[in-house]
Chain A
Amino acid sequence: MFKLSARRRARTEAAAVITLAATFAVPFVTSSPLVFSILNQILIAIPAAFSVFIMLRMNLLTFAVPAFMAIGGYSVAIAAANGITDAIALAVLSFAIPAAVAAPLGAMVLRLKGVYFVLVTFVLTEITQLTLFEMPWLTGGSNGLVAIPPTTLLGTSLSSNRAVLLLATALSLVAALIAVSLTRRFREHFDAIGENALLAQSLGLIVWRYKALGFVVAAGLSGIAGYSLVNMLLTAHPSSFSPISSVNYIAYAIVGGSGSIIGPIVGSAVLVWAANLFNNHGEYSPGLFGLLITLFVLVGKDGIIGILSRLASAPLASDASSPGRHSKAAAVS
């Protein structure tokens, strides 16, 4: 995985937050339903991709994002159906409940490494699906929970298309701030675990503690994505959280670039937009989408941000032929 220099890292973190903050302006400059629809999908995908991003920082590939999205989404739907419709309360709930569920789960699954961890997180998503279908008294079973009351803020209903988009933007921004805070505060810890967990342990790092922290926060971010999705659809249905959708969230993080916080935003934007574009080609759509992901992975294993970073570093790298510039060039690569 590529690593940015400290200065570039700070710039990309600022760019991620500014990009999402700037999205607040979109509903005021256009009312195109297509733009609203695609942007909503992107903004739902971003917190989910952040969830994958945090786990990848520790070299853990998780397929559990849809499971925690479902827990967050259904929690919000149940709360709204029971009269709690305040946006802030629901946002807190959508983060806290998946995080609380993840804490004891993490104690079990984080003992596993590599392919075993991947398999268990996938099974976790399958079990969540089964639970959604088999507990109709709570989840509505195969019908899901429908006609969920719209979210409110200070007593005002957020049911218009513009309000839904603004809420999705706010939730994405909150998710970005959480992801930036976490990965900035514990950058060395996560990097060390990602590169060599055993070595990190021998240097005094209590590895399980940081893995658990990452897992819990990642679950909370997935829950926020679940809230955003349920708020857009005003329905919580098992099919919205299918296990196979976890592949998309992983693709968003990897194609965008898992070495930088802005990678999941870029990956989500590019792939959601491309998926919508390919939808015009009917049965060829999944094939074209798969081809695009394959192309990105073959051309740039560090994702779009990795490619852009290398291009931006190229002039400095060529300067490195002069002896005095060696360390500077290497520092930015």
Chain B
Amino acid sequence: MLKVDNLHVRYGGIGALRDVSLNVAVGETVLLIGANGAGKSSLINAIIGLVPTSGGTIRFNERELVPISCAERARSGIGYSPEGRCVFPSMSVTDNVLCGAFGRGRKRQLQALDWLKSIFPLLADRAGQPAGQLSGGEQQIVALARAMCSLPTLLLLDEPFLGLAPIWISRISNAIRELQRRGTTILMTEQMARPALKLANRGYIMRSGEIRRAGTAVEIRDLALAEEYL
């Protein structure tokens, strides 16, 4: 479904990603782990089109993404939940979620919203509340639901557990499992590798803008343990 080959990203003169290659198959959940500055978010941002690439290819469902805009990539079936939640703070919870399906038509937006409310009851309980007034965990649920509102075939989750209490990590994990049961393909980054590895089929370890290791979730857990990521 997603194939990244020899990708390079530079911020000014500094290389953020060097020769990164990975692939994600349909229905898989793939985890990128690594310390701060390893290049995880740069890779996610390059896939969704928020940062320009300086070399390499990104193919999604056989379509080359590099020449197309960020908005077009989202419309081609990629959902994105950014690092640090990034809700629209003064917009209501409902409006935030509906923003996840820009350009899909009102009817489809509302159908998706009803479906998401059945998965995340919070969306109904806090429908009219400004998203900026929610707790961090609640905002993460809103960001997750927003990313799902367009019914994407590939979901990019950038550090979904960042700064959350254990109870919310557990709730978000349950929400991700629900999405997996529905067949959503997921590429996620996480510094908190232990809970994230429980959700993943495969993983990659990143360091200094490069992919250092790849393997199944079990292999990555052992490697990560050895390299003190856990």
Contact = CB atoms under 8 A, between A and B. Distances in A.
A118 B127 CA distance: 36
A202 B103 contact: no
A191 interface: yes
Contacts of B75: 204
Interface in A183-201: 188-189, 191-192, 195-196, 198-201
Nearest to B100: A203
Interface in A295-327: 327
B18 to A, nearest CB: 24
A192 B96 CA distance: 8
A191 B95 contact: yes
How many chain B residues sit at the interface, stated as a range, is 20 to 34
Given A199-B82, A330-B130, A204 B88 contact: no
Given A5-B128, A327-B126, A202 B82 contact: yes
A202 B91 contact: no
Contacts of A195: 88-91
Contact of A192 (B48, B80, B88, B128): B88
B129 A200 contact: no
Given A204-B101, A204-B103, A330-B133, A199 B86 contact: yes
B202 interface: no
A2 interface: yes
A331 B95 CA distance: 12
B153 interface: no
Interface residues of A, number: 26
Contact of B88 (A5, A6, A196, A207): A196
A327 B82 contact: no
Contacts of A191: 88, 90-91, 95
Nearest to B70: A201
B103 A206 contact: yes
A234 interface: no
B71 A201 contact: yes
The 7 closest A-B pairs by CB, nearest first: A331-B128, A204-B74, A205-B102, A195-B88, A204-B102, A330-B129, A204-B75
B89 to A, nearest CB: 7
Nearest to A206: B71
B74 A327 contact: no
11 contacts: A195-B91, A200-B99, A201-B71, A202-B70, A203-B99, A203-B100, A203-B150, A205-B71, A327-B125, A327-B129, A330-B130
Interface in B93-117: 95, 98-104
A196 B70 CA distance: 14
Interface of B: 48-50, 69-71, 74-75, 80, 82, 86, 88-92, 95, 98-104, 125-130, 133, 146, 150
A199 B102 CA distance: 12
Given A202-B48, A331-B128, A3 B91 contact: yes
Contacts of A205: 71, 99, 102-103
Given A3-B92, A203-B80, 12 more contacts: A188-B98, A188-B99, A191-B90, A191-B95, A192-B88, A195-B90, A196-B86, A199-B82, A202-B48, A203-B102, A204-B102, A331-B129
Nearest to A5: B128
A238 to B, nearest CB: 40
Contacts of B133: 330
Contacts of A6: 92, 128
A328 B128 CA distance: 8
A180 to B, nearest CB: 18
Interface string A194-228: 01101111111111000000000000000000000
Contacts of B92: 3, 6, 331
Contacts of B98: 188
